[in-house]
Structure 1
């Protein structure tokens, strides 16, 4: 699945790498965008995926905890998603769980911040809920077996997850598209 979604992954990495995670504003926007994307992911998961839902809910709370530490409002609600979910929810969970792997690298970056407030705002990036979600996702993917059409749905679910993270990035900045971002930077 990683090769089928590599373009999506690269696009999201490029967007989120614009945030300076060593200052309050950059880290706050990063955490807010993740909280928004995760809330959309949570809303898209069926009740039957209870274990994944609990992990994602815990991640949202962890992001909120860091936002509060930074003196920023914690999002108790999120704007409506720009995109509706399509595909297999396991693909969506794959994106969320996979994002936690990159979190380890980002955690080191935040901890090196000169601002002690920023350096200590690591609840989200060090959350054990992400580790649990990754294990659950790996087990589900290893047990998964489906026809080619099912695989297409799995990939579509992952692409929806990437789209949620892209939409959340722009929503947090009050923008709706990449073009808005380019024109807003003067």
Structure 2
């Protein structure tokens, strides 16, 4: 049986690679590179979390308050002397399927965040790492996957895929526009 996770991973593999490649150009061992990296993430994550909340993500993921990372990201930016990024107003509330696809991308990004946190800490032990380490002491990814399979697989596949693709494209655009 092919899981929704496997279908999403396969269908978005090329986009995932493009996003990883775009962000790999950031010099996380340099303060300015790390700052630009966080600013690029803020450009996408903050409005996306708000958009998902407007769509009712808490009814789909009852532990959403534990998953939400924008406050950690804003705290790291503030610690680095960055102004709070301007918010892009959200459009229409997305469908549940789109929301599951978007959530798949942002929840999956936690896995890479742990690796990046170690790299940043090695280069600069005093760097703020709230965002990259958010949820690292919990089992958020496995519990997300369980909910994705239980609830997300009942949604229209094209909407789930569109949500994932749209989210990867947002991150790709931010990575390319904020590179230092």
TM-score of the aligned structures, taking structure 1 as reference length: 0.75
Q: Contact 1:85 / 1:160 at 8 angstroms: preserved in 2?
A: no
Structure 1: gaps of 5 or more residues:
174-184
* RMSD of aligned Cα (Å): 2.8
SS in 1 for 2:12: helix
Select 1:92's aligned residue among 93, 102, 124. Answer: 102
Work out the number of aligned pairs and report it. Answer: 165
1:65 Cα offset (Å): 1.4
Q: Contact (CA 8 Å) 1:22, 1:109: kept in 2 or not?
A: yes
Asked whether the 8 Å contact 1:33–1:169 carries over to 2, the reply is yes
Report deviation, 1:55: 4.4
CA distance in 2, matches of 1:157, 1:124: 22
**Structure 1 residues 6, 165: closer, same or farther in 2, change over 3 A?**
same
Residue 33 of structure 1 corresponds to which residue in structure 2? 40
Whether 1:169 aligns to 2:178 is no
Q: Structure 2 matches for 1:72-151, cutoff 5 A?
A: 72-75=82-85, 77-79=86-88, 88-113=98-123, 115-118=124-127, 121-128=128-135, 131=138, 133-144=140-151, 145-146=153-154, 150-151=156-157
Question: For structure 2, which runs of at least 5 residues remain unmatched after alignment?
Answer: 1-7
Alignment CA distance shift 1:33-1:130 (3 Å): farther
Bigger Cα displacement from structure 2, 24-33 vs 62-71:
62-71
TM-score between both structures, scaled by the size of structure 2:
0.78
Residue number in structure 1 paired with 2:159: 153
On the 8 A contact 2:55/2:94 being kept in 1, the answer is no
How big is the shift at 1:163? Answer: 1.3
CA distance in 1, matches of 2:37, 2:94: 22
Larger relative contact order (Cα-Cα within 8 Å, sequence gap ≥ 6): 2
Offset from partner CA, 1:78-118 (integer Å, 9 cap, x none): 3468xx968621000000000111111101101110x4433
